[in-house]
Structure 1
């Protein structure tokens, strides 16, 4: 619904200060809600259910209603009012959309006349009539912002040089809060996506409306500036999804296939200048996801502004050499975040075992036969394993034919490979740390695959809790690989688990 404000579904209710002051019937109901939340967790952990965020939000929403019965202390009220003052009209519009959506549904394009315009007299009357609900959603945004701030302070106090890395998604829902509040800034009837490429021969339609470049220019890039300031409030770094969108986006007319889209250009110099200015003010590192179809000059322009790129191991090859072998680690670029995989790609265990190929076949995403896909994937994995053996990062015999003899050892070796590169940052995909076989997100699917509803799981598919992950011998063994970072910045003392390596 919004890129401007974080989703309060992530709130930890028990950490809200007013929670400890509940008493009587309110406390009893809060305990009942906590029990219902435990039942939802058990359904996932013990019965293999998918994560049900709608059910989670219903419980948290009722709990937040209980918390509003506790008066804010003087200092807490002052903090709330200060947040309102800083966020201004953006926050009022955000909370108003949620209040109106509770009355009329989440698609503002189907609301009664007058309410589709956030500046109309009817909307203002409804804003006053629904003042209590507007305040509920305004306060939820404040509490979420508070907890993000606390998380970042805790990270820094624990010695993390970066801490939280926030994500700027490539777009928002076409009928959500952001598009209602700034209709002039979004291109109605258009969706962004990707043209056909090696990853998806049909192209991709992400169902997200693009910025209008003319409105951005006319307003001095005010919507973009406000968006960045909101995201950078509590960020040590910001990852920009599909950073090429600062230069051009693949626009697809509503109802047409991605193959009938076209590139629309933006003023990249202006967009990058705004980004660099806001990041400098916040003291925040910026990482651009520059994967896929990247036109000439984009990476150079990003590097010139201090924006790190994203280098994924499977894509880093010497494209000029015969057979396109893996790119030696010393030849990788320094200004990047280096990872083995990403949330949009198979987990490393899934790739090494070939399970992701079977998954794509079941869903109907393979262009050729299953046998051809299996052979191609096995050949790519074998190439990498042989490369690791040659570098002394993997013992002889780790790869036997089409199978990986020790998948955990191979995952560790791939990360050792990254640590030999000059990359400024190295990332670990959490499912890789516990051997999860499944992708979290499968691009090009919606109902075909439960994207973002899968809990992180062990190799046998058993969901694992955060506490189990932190105690995982496999995770701890992988983290010990980072002790060998040449300058020592990634050292992880025995028995401790860190969340980042940066040089």
Structure 2
């Protein structure tokens, strides 16, 4: 039987200790209690002690006041959940997570009277009920709940003392491993293209790739043997500020970027002759031609073209598909996630009256609103509020700059705004509905065309501080900290990503519901999901807001619990999982990934091993693991052509981004050696193209034949997935994003140089697809 460990007593300074020594000891113990590491080892193996100021700042970000003398000792004694005396402590933790192979399980009950007259009731997710009494453990450690064997899912235990309810706890039973589709089981291997969706050119889009382009790419890729199409994060960005375009700094991870909507594919467009005439006008078509022809994605111009037309479509939809009594209704938020959790009503809302619709399509929209519940409602409210305040002041960049009365989503001011601007709020819900329909259609097409995986989506680490997710659940985030990373070769001072991390204790108190919701939102339209910076499930580097990474520290997360939930949601969604595990990753993270069937993310540039005779050489294809995704490069790294021509290094040099001249020289010299070693690796595999040679070195620049040979090299690996960046097929020299820069280079704005309609006639695509399909299909 698996037993949950009872929470031990708080670590307190030894009796008799007082003064600064006791306070320092209390601070260290408090950090241990809250999961804040006192030191870490950097990439050079140097132990770095976190300064006391940094520790205090991060504890403050967790809501623990330690700025006064004696505060650390007082906070330590109050316990991790802010409980004082033992009788105030909750008898059960808010949530426990078990593996289905670790049953039956037993949970200790912190009953102050020894557990007499204490009993429990367990409700399974399916509705089945179990009851029992809290029995004392054989080892005399106190009463426990001996749970029955449970199926994977979310269940709830409620504990009573006599007739009085004392508390409840969520019980999560997790499957042993994540979902794997048949295409990658029993030695199966697939390959696919990876694109930045916005970067797709086509002769029909409005200046950036959209969901119809994605659907067409899925058809094209499947016809040429691809098993998936990889994508950048599709999270909701900032409609009021479209130039804020990084997909890794979203407003919300639960909703979609509405600028990917294909306006002309919306059913209301086909129904509205007036809107079609507007779009067909000579002036409007001229604007679209200019947006398509632009070298870079013009997000501001695209927003100016799309949003007014979408507004016209919403007006048409309201008039035709919603009955007058039900337009922009007030309603109670419904969780819509099927979890055994208490409801989350929106204060002041009615019980869902008047949600009728005039047509079947109107009813479908109402159902989308119901299932989206409070989360969708607050997201749409946020967008309407942000738009409103930005019109008053163009410098308003999020809720942190709104008037105080509007910063609480449950405030009277917000509720009044929602009533007064009901149509505008509903407009943003309508946009999410359209985006969800179109993305869902792309995944349906992938299944119809027999793709083994389908859409391969990406989950960002966190969200923008001023965005919708933080506003909706501010107490879930450490708003006085941000995620980042410690010093490394390129950033001697470390990095601050400006993204507030979730609070581990707040996640647990909610039974991990916010984390579950994010997974579900991103898995529901995907066949595979990449978790960016997967190490964040175990530990995340926090930087005090307003401070520097030198004052940062690693904060622990409940790794095993989160892994179990990832596996459960993966199985339920039929979505396989890839963990981006680049950099210095603790062994326990990769061990946990392997145990749960989460694929490792292996990049050719970093896949080398040291030899005494030849220095650092590239791994042979056979040396890559099977439980992995392999790729030559990523959106954050040099393209193959850029790698060969030192494009990324040259840009860094021009922008003075190297910490020292010695570092610059070392990296340029290292790159030259890496290119030579890559040619040697191709030669060992018999893949060196004609005219290429490590000695004498050739070619000086990347060629299509060499790029294909590198992809064929990876195709021989036993890894279940291989992804090919579209930029590498087309010979692009610039990468999608250059880390460490913001506006110095056009990050997240570069377009691919070839229209999607021309891919099927481009030998670079068709020949590579033929070779990869043959290589990956071979036993």
In the aligned structure 1, how far is the partner of 2:776 from the partner of 2:770?
Answer: 13
Secondary structure of the 2:764 match is helix
Distance 1:387 1:15, change over 3 A: same
Residue 314 of structure 2 contacts residue 430 of structure 2 at CA under 8 Å; is this kept in 1?
no
1:361-383: CA deviations, max 9, x gaps? 11222344455433221111111
Secondary structure of the 1:77 match is helix
Query: Does 2:489 align with 1:204?
Result: no
Which residue of structure 1 aligns with residue 519 of structure 2? 228
Which residue of structure 1 aligns with residue 15 of structure 2? none
Residue 398 of structure 1 contacts residue 406 of structure 1 at CA under 8 Å; is this kept in 2?
no
1:57 alignment partner, one of 284, 295, 303: 303
Residue 152 of structure 1 contacts residue 234 of structure 1 at CA under 8 Å; is this kept in 2?
yes
In the aligned structure 2, how far is the partner of 1:188 from the partner of 1:405?
Answer: 47
How many residues in Structure 1 have an aligned counterpart in Structure 2? 477
1:165-200: CA deviations, max 9, x gaps? 111101111100111001011101211111112454
In the aligned structure 2, how far is the partner of 1:374 from the partner of 1:260?
Answer: 31
Residue 434 of structure 1 contacts residue 469 of structure 1 at CA under 8 Å; is this kept in 2?
no
**Structure 1 residues 325-364: aligned runs within 5 Å:** 325-364=617-656
Deviation for aligned residue 1:357: 2.0
Residue 729 of structure 2 contacts residue 765 of structure 2 at CA under 8 Å; is this kept in 1?
yes
Which residue of structure 2 aligns with residue 16 of structure 1? 266
**Structure 1 residues 292-371: aligned runs within 5 Å:** 292-319=583-610, 323-369=615-661, 371=665
Moved more, 260-269 or 477-486: 477-486
Residue 712 of structure 2 contacts residue 775 of structure 2 at CA under 8 Å; is this kept in 1?
no
In the aligned structure 2, how far is the partner of 1:406 from the partner of 1:173?
Answer: 38
Deviation for aligned residue 1:396: 6.2
Moved more, 145-154 or 474-483: 474-483
Query: Does 2:291 align with 1:40?
Result: yes
1:236-264: CA deviations, max 9, x gaps? 11111111111111101112222321101
Residue 378 of structure 1 contacts residue 402 of structure 1 at CA under 8 Å; is this kept in 2?
no
Residue 648 of structure 2 contacts residue 738 of structure 2 at CA under 8 Å; is this kept in 1?
no
Query: Does 2:684 align with 1:438?
Result: no
In the aligned structure 2, how far is the partner of 1:307 from the partner of 1:247?
Answer: 14
In the aligned structure 2, how far is the partner of 1:414 from the partner of 1:118?
Answer: 52
Which residue of structure 2 aligns with residue 274 of structure 1? 565
**Structure 1 residues 133-282: aligned runs within 5 Å:** 133-282=424-573
TM-score by length of 1: 0.91
In the aligned structure 2, how far is the partner of 1:384 from the partner of 1:175?
Answer: 44
Residue 93 of structure 1 contacts residue 118 of structure 1 at CA under 8 Å; is this kept in 2?
yes
In the aligned structure 1, how far is the partner of 2:607 from the partner of 2:269?
Answer: 49
Query: Does 2:351 align with 1:100?
Result: no
Secondary structure of the 1:478 match is helix
Moved more, 109-118 or 389-398: 389-398
Secondary structure of the 2:643 match is helix
Which residue of structure 1 aligns with residue 676 of structure 2? 382
Residue 691 of structure 2 contacts residue 699 of structure 2 at CA under 8 Å; is this kept in 1?
no
In the aligned structure 1, how far is the partner of 2:572 from the partner of 2:689?
Answer: 48
In the aligned structure 2, how far is the partner of 1:15 from the partner of 1:197?
Answer: 46
In the aligned structure 2, how far is the partner of 1:28 from the partner of 1:384?
Answer: 56
Secondary structure of the 1:69 match is helix
Residue 272 of structure 2 contacts residue 313 of structure 2 at CA under 8 Å; is this kept in 1?
yes
Which residue of structure 2 aligns with residue 493 of structure 1? none
1:425 alignment partner, one of 715, 721, 742: 721
Residue 434 of structure 1 contacts residue 472 of structure 1 at CA under 8 Å; is this kept in 2?
no
Q: Which has the higher strand share?
A: 2
Distance 1:61 1:290, change over 3 A: same
In the aligned structure 2, how far is the partner of 1:316 from the partner of 1:374?
Answer: 19
Secondary structure of the 1:337 match is strand
Which residue of structure 1 aligns with residue 416 of structure 2? 125
1:24-48: CA deviations, max 9, x gaps? 4x33323344542222112x1xxx3
In the aligned structure 1, how far is the partner of 2:363 from the partner of 2:610?
Answer: 58
In the aligned structure 2, how far is the partner of 1:101 from the partner of 1:486?
Answer: 48
In the aligned structure 2, how far is the partner of 1:346 from the partner of 1:253?
Answer: 31
Q: What's the RMSD between the two structures over aligned residues?
A: 1.8
1:281-306: CA deviations, max 9, x gaps? 00100111111121121111011111
Deviation for aligned residue 1:101: 0.5
In the aligned structure 1, how far is the partner of 2:426 from the partner of 2:690?
Answer: 64
In the aligned structure 2, how far is the partner of 1:468 from the partner of 1:202?
Answer: 45
Residue 195 of structure 1 contacts residue 258 of structure 1 at CA under 8 Å; is this kept in 2?
yes
Residue 352 of structure 1 contacts residue 407 of structure 1 at CA under 8 Å; is this kept in 2?
no
Query: Does 2:279 align with 1:30?
Result: yes
In the aligned structure 1, how far is the partner of 2:254 from the partner of 2:737?
Answer: 23
Which residue of structure 2 aligns with residue 407 of structure 1? 703
TM-score by length of 2: 0.59
1:442-500: CA deviations, max 9, x gaps? 111112221101112xxxxxx332223443221222212213225359xxxxxxxxxxx
Residue 398 of structure 1 contacts residue 405 of structure 1 at CA under 8 Å; is this kept in 2?
no
Residue 490 of structure 2 contacts residue 659 of structure 2 at CA under 8 Å; is this kept in 1?
no
Which residue of structure 2 aligns with residue 479 of structure 1? 769
In the aligned structure 2, how far is the partner of 1:157 from the partner of 1:92?
Answer: 33
1:50-79: CA deviations, max 9, x gaps? 211122122111111111232237121111
Deviation for aligned residue 1:418: 0.8
Residue 30 of structure 1 contacts residue 66 of structure 1 at CA under 8 Å; is this kept in 2?
no
Which residue of structure 2 aligns with residue 500 of structure 1? none
Deviation for aligned residue 1:403: 4.4
Moved more, 57-66 or 31-40: 31-40
